[in-house]
Structure 1
Amino acid sequence: MSEEDRRRWGTALNGQGVANHVNMRMSDGSVVSVSADGCVSEARRTLYGSLEDAMTSTALAGNLPIEAKQRAAADPAMKALNATWSACMKDKGHPNLPRPEDARVLAAEAPRDEALTIAVADAECEDRSGYAPKRTTLEDRYFTAALTFYEPEVAALTETHRKALARAKKLLSTPTP
């Protein structure tokens, strides 16, 4: 595609520039902005009834799990679990790794043999500490709390998605001229 064709494609898809955007303040105080023009916004309006409903739906569905994971990560029990795992990794010759995610990043960047050594140590330390089930239990507690706290928003989201799905099914079953 030529540069001009790419530009026209981008404009058709997402609208032109930032002049015609819809901004919306979410329940957590953040502001979400989306172009009011282009095919994507037209599809959102068609499925959700409005850009605002589409934005609210997308923001809540995307941010709720992130918020729950962040709160779980700050919990003293998670910090203690990570400290236990980290001490085990240090004993196996891999210091300065506070969390399993850090070991995975290090392994991904390491030569194959070193990556395997890190992966084996990680697996042994996770097994020894019971890391996975403990982390899952702790995170589940925060996911449940978030769903309870945002219950009205989640119910509205569910209804919005139900209506969008019904609209999509109707559109897809209608023969095109």
Structure 2
Amino acid sequence: MKLPLSADPPAFEIRYGITEEAARRKGYEIRKRTAPPDPSPLDALLKKMSPEAVKKWGETLGGPGGKEAPNVSVTMPNGDEVGAPTTGCDAEARTALWGSVEHWLLGQRFGSDFREGLISRAEKDPAMRALNVEWSQCMAAKSFADLESPAKAMDLAASFYEKGDETTAFTREVDLAIADAQCENDTDYVRKRRILEDRYLAAGMGGYETEIAATRELNRGALVRARTLLAS
């Protein structure tokens, strides 16, 4: 049975910048990244409940599911729309802290979506493409051909675990990560990439000064109200 989906912001992952020392010790840590999370006390409790009780718990927390359920959505800087239910305990708590579910969505999602959208634009910059080509050529010389970027190297490392035994997959992961680290060092990848990303982030912040100020104020107000509620 599916429980209500969380509208919490996704973690923004930087998929480059591995050092050779880290690569030799643990590769990309694919096993750690893909391992299922440890079960929580809530998971254990839900397993003891009947399907009907789990459904009632989910609806109490996150509101009823389905297309007809009360819902609001806001548009993020990258043009995507994100939504969240307006009924249930989660919605009540968000409204108590942020003033409305819409304000909560903006306060919690704007920053992560804003950065992600600008980084996506930076990745299309000709200078970024040229940097990735230089890195890719270095990797090809180390027998890792057809990789477009360090992020693609991480994806390839994850695919090693889809076939064969884990020990062999980890050995291949480490070899790939070492080559990546060496090529990032040889091409001065991290410094050059961050210069490009910072350029786009600075330009984006200049174009969204009003939205950024409003988001900061929303989160500042929510923090004040949270402290007040906790102290009462």
Give the TM-score taking structure 2 as reference length.
Answer: 0.71
TM superposition shift of 1:154: 0.4
Residue deviations 1:34-67, cap 9 Å, x none?
A: 2110111101100001122112223322310111
Alignment match of 1:141 (pick from 164, 184, 199): 199
Task: State the structure with bigger RCO (CA 8 A, min sep 6), 1 or 2.
Answer: 2
The residue that corresponds to 2:138 in the other structure is 88
Give the 3-state SS of the residue equivalent to 1:19 in structure 2: coil
Corresponding residue SS for 2:69: coil
1:151 aligns with 2:209: yes
User: Counterpart amino acid of 1:95?
Assistant: A
> What is residue 174 of structure 2 aligned with on the other side?
116
After the TM superposition, which of the residue ranges 49-58 and 8-17 deviates more from structure 2?
49-58
**Following the alignment from structure 1 to structure 2, what is the Cα–Cα distance between the partners of residues 120 and 28?**
34
Q: Distance in 2 between matches of 1:29 and 1:104?
A: 28
In structure 1, give the amino acid aligned to 2:51.
Answer: E
Please list every run of 5 or more consecutive structure 2 residues that lacks an aligned counterpart in the other structure. 1-48, 161-168
Structure 1: segments with no counterpart, 5+ residues:
none
Instruction: Tell me how far apart the structure 2 counterparts of residues 69 and 24 of structure 1 sit (CA, whole Å).
Output: 21
Q: Is the 2:63–2:69 contact (alpha carbons within 8 Å) kept by the matching residues of 1?
A: no
CA distance in 2, matches of 1:52, 1:161: 13
CA RMSD of aligned residues (A): 1.5
2:128 corresponds to which residue?
Answer: 78
Cα distance in structure 1, aligned partners of 2:211 and 2:98: 15
**Seq. identity, %:** 40
The alignment partner of 1:57 has SS state of helix
Q: Is the 8 A contact 2:62 2:88 kept in 1?
A: yes
CA distance in 1, matches of 2:186, 2:219: 42
1:20 matched to 2:20: no
Q: From 30, 54, 70, give the equivalent of 1:6.
A: 54
What is the aligned partner in structure 2 of residue 36 from structure 1? 86
The match for 2:31 is none
Corresponding position of 2:37: none
Provide TM-score, normalisation by structure 1.
0.91
Q: Distance in 1 between matches of 2:78 and 2:170?
A: 43
Higher helix share: 1
CA distance in 2, matches of 1:74, 1:27: 17
Count residues with an aligned counterpart: 174
